[in-house]
Amino acid sequence: MGRFSRSWELVEESFAILWADKQLMLFPILSGISCVIVTLLLSASGLAIFLPAIRTAGITAQNFPQTAKSPEFAATLFVFYLANYFVIVFFNVALVGVANSRLTGGNWTLNQGLQLAWSRKWVILQ
């Protein structure tokens, strides 16, 4: 059995566990919704901050490539990346905690998984 086929089998078993327990399916759904919300909030706040500067600097489609190389633009993209990555890993930690509990005979709930992830928020951020 090759490495790829073992990996694919593991993915299939993981999805089977998720489909068997509908509460576990909430974690990926909540993660996706949270990522959209974080992106919208950061986009709105970034637009509010940068729009006056964009108007006064006269940034157009022609000179955007130079603007995209600016440190401010890179910092903004990094904040987007960091916030969304935090959300994704946060919900993955909660999912793994609940799944591990269920697979070892426990009966953790969604709330307990979120509490586990919240107790590790600084580790996740790192």
Measured between alpha carbons, how far is 84 from 39 in angstroms, rounded to an integer? 7
pLDDT digits over 66-94, tens only? 555 667 777 877 888 888 899 999 999 99
- Give the count of domains, the chain: 1
Domain that holds residue 61: 22-125
Residue 84 in any domain: the answer is yes
Least confident of 49-63, 80-94, 96-110: 49-63
Question: What's the Cα-to-Cα distance from 115 to each of 5, 16, 91, 112, rounded to whole Å?
Answer: 35, 25, 11, 5
Residue 16 in any domain: the answer is no
Residue 99 has pLDDT above 80, yes or no: yes
Residue 6 in any domain: the answer is no
Residue 62 in any domain: the answer is yes
Residue 110 in any domain: the answer is yes
Measured between alpha carbons, how far is 35 from 123 in angstroms, rounded to an integer? 19
pLDDT digits over 33-49, tens only? 998 998 888 877 766 66
- Please answer whether residues 97 and 116 qualify as being in contact, where contact means their C-beta atoms are separated by less than 8 angstroms: yes
Measured between alpha carbons, how far is 25 from 41 in angstroms, rounded to an integer? 25
